[in-house]
Each structure stands twice: as structure tokens, then as C-alpha cells.
Amino acid sequence: MVPGEKHTILIVDDTQENILLLSEVLESDYLTKAAINGERALKIAFAAEPPDLVLLDVMMPGMSGYEVCRRLKVNPETRRIPVIFVTAMNEVDDETKGLELGAVDYITKPISPPIVKARVKAHLELYERRRELEQMVVKLEEQARELAAWNQTLEQRVAEGVTQLDRLGRMKRFFSPAVADLILSGNADDPLKTHRREIVVAFLDLREFTAFSESADPEEVMGVLADYHAAMGELIIKYAGTLERFAGDGIMIFFNDPVPIPNPAAQAVSMALEMQQRLKGLEAAWARRGYDLSMGVGIAQGYATIGAIGFEGRRDYGAIGNVTNLAARLCGEAKGGQILVSQRVEQALGEVAKSQLIGDLPLKGFHKPVKIFEIHSNV
């Protein structure tokens, strides 16, 4: 893709209002095309300039979204295009069917614009990484043919082999450590298959980061993120969390998968408490440079569909379900320095921490108010 050029998103939905809503959410960052049925969607996708990603409704008159996805994935020209189902259907079987057909994600209606933008951004980045990997593989294959043709001296062949190993080593950086460990252990097949499990999800992000990033130089922003990610990443590993993704200042971690642990809620809260303590040191350093940043954390517990998300050459663990949305909403409600948790997490804490009832708060995407607790350290 040419630097500076916008990605194209194809929105497929038989309801014009849904198309307009998604278009408004995405139009500031992407070019959008629309189709009101499956036949029109395929015509656009099979054109000379196919879209970079498809947001696809499931229930449509005539050809269903499942059939559209199947046809896209059997066509060599379109099978790599990421497909995200956007639908009111939220049963596990529905999600599983979509993922088995080759979709990379599943967003339930009513949509949350921040979630839609985050998922679209994440999967477009994965899409671009795959393109880069394919280009790297082509180059490696060309170099391998050149090596065979040249038939140089042993010293030259060894030197070229070292170069090849170095390049292969750089390719490994596309794999997350957790997934890489599973692959190296020889047990990657079963853990990476789509499955259902109860997990605890922790979302964290920095308060006032948007204002800071708009006013600070890019080098300053990257420096802050580097310090923040390094500090939080060390604690994620310490508490055996599974890192789902970094998204700027936002981090999503879940517990109890792929490795089950006795009390994932207590583990997540203990991690969050130490993270807030660790961040105080960073906040002091940032304050000396004039940056007013702090962190909010949201933690929820519930069932999710979990498995490998991505494509060959770049796969990560991912979790899909209301529990991830609830954790994100709690994080959004948290003030700087706060840790907000759902009732199920609070009930599993035991002696790990103190909790205080905040109240029943209405959260976007949830029909009823949610009981929310704030966590305090026992120390």
C-alpha cells in the first residue's frame, strides 16, 4: 500500500441506517464502499480494486453473509481480505460458524464505535503485516535460488546462511511470545482451536493521553509509550496474563487461558494494583517533563470464545464476547489511578484487596445498569 493512502472498507448490510452509521464511524480514517446485498458485495469485492477489509452483516435477503464470506475465501484474489461480521446474532454457534468460514472477528449490534474502530485498525494492521511477510518470503525464495545457482565457496555459503538465519529471526518477531511458546512445545494445535472458556479480562489505558499525543512531538509520545509498555509488560508476564493486544495506550490482558489458574480474578486484581503502584514512578517522571498522565483499569469476568485470530504467518490469541466489552466499558469509566471491577470479580477477591461499591451505573451496550466496585490495596 502506498504510504499516506487510505484503506478501503466495504460495508455490507441490508439496512441503510446501519450502513450510514458505520460509514460515519469510519469515514474520517478510511475510504468506504457500501452494498445492500450479498450479490452486490461480491461484485465490488471481485472488481479490479478490491477492498482492504469487509464489514459484513449475516442475515440478509437472498445471499446470507455466511455465503458471501465463503465465496470470498474460496477465491484466490479475495481470500486474504479480512472479514468482520457485524450482526445482532450473538450465540456462540453463530460466532464459531463465522470464524470457521474464515472471518477474523465478530462484532455484535448495537455497535460501539470505539470497538469497531479498534477492531478495524487491528485487523488492517495484521493484513499489512501479512503482505510484508509474503514479500519477505518472495525475497527469501529468490535469494535461495540465487544461492543454488551461484554455488559459491563454503565460506561464502556459510556467510549467506548466517544472513538467512538473521532474516528468519526477524520474522519471528511477528509472533507473540505466548503463541510462540505453544508452537515450540509442539502443543499448538489444540490450544489454538476455537473454544469457550470463562476468563477474566483487564483493560487499561492512560488518561489525558489523547490530548498529550496531539500536543507533544511524535518522539515524546513514542518515548512515553515505550516506558509505559515496558513497565506494564513486565507485570503481565509476572502475573501470567495473556496479552491480547497493545493498541496505543490501551492494553487488553486476559487470565485463565491458554493456561488455567486457580483464581484468575484475584490474579488480575493483584496485577492491576501493582501496575498502579509501578505507574506512580512513571507519573512522577512524566510530571517533571510536563506530562499529566495517569491510568485507569477495568476488570470483568465471564465466558468468551477464544482461539487463534489472524492468518497463516501471523496468529495471536484473541477473545470475543461481552466480557471484553464490559472490561473496556469499566476502563472507560475509571478515573486516573482507579481500578473498577464487575460484581463477579469483586466476589472472587477474598483477602487480595479491599473493595468499595460505586453503584449501579448504565454502560453503553448493556441494557441494564451494571454494579461496579472500586478496588483498594490492603496495604
Residue 163: CB atoms within 10 A of its CB come to 12
Contacts for 165 with CB less than 8 Å, ≥ 6 apart: none
And the C-alpha cell for 91? 450465540
Q: Give the number of other Cβ atoms within 10 Å of residue 264's Cβ.
A: 25
Mean of all residue pLDDT scores within the chain:
84
162 φψ region: left (φ > 0), alpha (ψ -120 to 50), beta (else):
alpha
Write the pLDDT tens digit of every residue in 267-318.
999 999 999 999 999 999 999 988 999 999 999 999 998 877 777 666 666 7
pLDDT at 88: 81
Q: What distances in angstroms separate CA 379 from CA 37, 183, 225, 351, one per listed residue?
A: 59, 40, 29, 11
pLDDT band, very low/low/confident/very high, at 169 (cuts 50, 70, 90): very low
What value does the mean pLDDT take over residues 350-356? Answer: 89
Kindly give the residue spans of alpha helices, DSSP state H, lying in 46-91: 65-74
What pLDDT, in 10s, does the model give residues 223-245?
999 999 999 988 988 888 888 77
What the block records as the C-alpha cell of 282 is: 512513571
pLDDT at 120 over 90: yes
CA distances from 359 to 91, 250, 340 (A): 29, 25, 11
> Of 126 and 185, which is predicted with more confidence?
126
**Mean local confidence (pLDDT), 328-332:** 93
Q: What are 172's three cell numbers?
A: 519471528
- The whole-angstrom separation of Cα 72 and Cα 38 is 11
* N-terminal to C-terminal alpha carbon distance within the chain: 52
What pLDDT score was predicted for residue 190? 53
SS3 276: helix
Grid cell 478510511 in the structure block, residue? 30
Q: Which DSSP helix (H) or strand (E) runs through 178? A: helix 177-185
Give the 3-state secondary structure of 295-329.
EEEEEEEEEEEEEEEEECCEEEEEEECHHHHHHHH
Distance between CA atoms of 196 and 259, rounded to whole angstroms?
A: 14
When pLDDT is cut at 50, 70 and 90, the band that residue 171 belongs to is very low
Q: What would the DSSP string read from start to end of 282-298?
A: HHHHHHHTT---EEEEE
How does pLDDT run across 50-88, given as a tens digit for each residue?
999 999 999 898 999 999 999 999 999 899 999 999 988
Cα–Cα distance for residue pair 321/324, rounded to 1 Å: 6
Contact 110, 80 (CB under 8 A): no
* Rounded Cα gap, residues 69 and 100, in angstroms: 10
pLDDT higher than threshold 80 for residue 147: no
Q: What is the pLDDT of residue 176?
A: 45
Q: pLDDT by residue (tens digit) across 249-267?
A: 899 999 988 778 889 999 9
Give CA–CA dist 75/43, Å, rounded: 13
Q: How far apart are CA 258 and CA 350, in angstroms?
A: 24
Count of residues for the chain?
A: 379
